[in-house]
């Protein structure tokens, strides 16, 4: 097990990552496929579907590079002291948050990994919602690949949860890019390869 280090993180991230990885290994039966698609260096945008509050911390413990998350600004008055130290940064969801966008661009241009849930919020319906987060736009602006992740199963004591990481989504800088990301995630949830993007 290689503990994340470097890339601008401190000891707090490594300690919490290690403890959380052990805890999640005890609580859940986690299956992971396709981690080879996460680049060993350089920028990338990890883009999973989002069903429960477990998703962000569990995804982070699967990757042995520091993974930074956007989180709703309402959490920071209570948890900001810890969240800032593990690389999490706030986003105001009521409008386009230019500060969060600029911070995301800065991280990607510095070669970091960030996690953006394309649906923008938890979706308990069992069906994927439309993409809202702008992961495609950040990718086009920075050249960072979007790595889709399909999460399936249920978080419960020793219940199976499967995480499938797919190859980077091919984007065309058009109004179908968000849909291409969601189609890739849908393919991974279904247990197959990502849905090929439509021809340009």
pLDDT digits (tens, 9 = 90+) for 130-145: 777 689 999 999 999 9
pLDDT of amino acid 20: 96
Place of tokens 């948050």: 97
- DSSP label at residue 44: E
If one counts the domains in the chain, the total is: 1
- Residue 1 domain flag: no
Q: Which domain holds residue 158?
A: 11-189
- Residue 20 domain flag: yes
Average pLDDT over residues 168-191: 92
Taking the C-alpha atoms of residue 185 and residue 112, their distance in angstroms, rounded to an integer, is: 22
- Residue 49 domain flag: yes
Question: Is 199 or 155 the better-scoring residue by pLDDT?
Answer: 155
C-beta separation of 118 from 131 below 8 A: yes
73: confidence class by pLDDT, cuts 50, 70, 90: confident
Neighbours of 100 (CB within 10 A): 18
- Residue 30 domain flag: yes
What are the residues whose beta carbons fall under 8 Å from the beta carbon of 108, sequence distance 6 or more? 43, 45, 114, 138, 142, 144
Give counts: helices (H), strands (E), the chain: 6, 7
Taking the C-alpha atoms of residue 39 and residue 109, their distance in angstroms, rounded to an integer, is: 15
pTM: 0.90
Average pLDDT over residues 11-33: 95
**Is the per-residue pLDDT at 32 higher than 50?**
yes
- Residue 166 domain flag: yes
CA-derived radius of gyration, the chain? 16
- Residue 198 domain flag: no
- Condensed to tens digits (0 to 9), the pLDDT of residues 84-94 reads 889 999 888 77
Q: Give the residues across from 161 on adjacent strands.
A: 30, 153
Nearest to 162 by CA among 64, 37, 34, 20: 34
- Residue 199 domain flag: no
C-beta separation of 34 from 95 below 8 A: no
**Is the per-residue pLDDT at 80 higher than 90?**
no
Q: Give the residues across from 31 on adjacent strands.
A: 162
Farthest CA pair distance, the chain: 47
Please state, in angstroms and as integers, the Cα–Cα distance from residue 85 to each residue in 10, 13, 63, 69, 106, following that order: 7, 7, 18, 12, 17
Taking the C-alpha atoms of residue 38 and residue 65, their distance in angstroms, rounded to an integer, is: 9
- The domain that holds 179 is classified in CATH as 3.40.1130.10
Average pLDDT over residues 17-21: 96
Taking the C-alpha atoms of residue 14 and residue 1, their distance in angstroms, rounded to an integer, is: 12
DSSP reduced 3-state for 33: strand
- Residue 3 domain flag: no
The alpha carbon of residue 61 and the mean position of all alpha carbons in its chain are separated, in whole angstroms, by 11
Question: What mean pLDDT is reported for the chain?
Answer: 89
């Amino acid at each position: 097990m290689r503990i994340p280090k470097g890339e601008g993180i401190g000891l707090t991230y490594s300690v919490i990552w290690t403890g959380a990885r052990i805890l999640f290994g005890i609580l859940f039966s986690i299956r992971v496929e396709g981690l080879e698609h996460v680049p060993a260096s350089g920028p990338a945008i990890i883009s999973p579907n989002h069903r429960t509050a477990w998703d962000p911390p569990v995804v982070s413990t699967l990757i042995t590079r520091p993974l930074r998350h956007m989180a709703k600004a309402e959490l920071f008055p209570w948890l900001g002291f810890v969240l800032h130290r593990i690389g999490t940064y706030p986003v105001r969801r009521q409008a386009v948050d230019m500060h969060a966008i600029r911070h995301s661009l800065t991280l990607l241009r510095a070669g970091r990994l960030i996690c953006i849930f394309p649906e923008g919020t938890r979706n308990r319906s069992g069906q994927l919602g439309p993409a809202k987060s702008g992961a495609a736009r950040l990718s086009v602006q920075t050249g960072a690949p979007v790595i889709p992740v399909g999460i399936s199963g249920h978080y419960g004591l020793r219940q199976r949860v499967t995480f499938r990481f797919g190859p980077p989504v091919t984007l065309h800088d058009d109004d179908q890019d968000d849909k291409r990301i969601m189609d890739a995630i849908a393919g991974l949830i279904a247990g197959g390869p990502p849905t090929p993007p439509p021809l340009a």
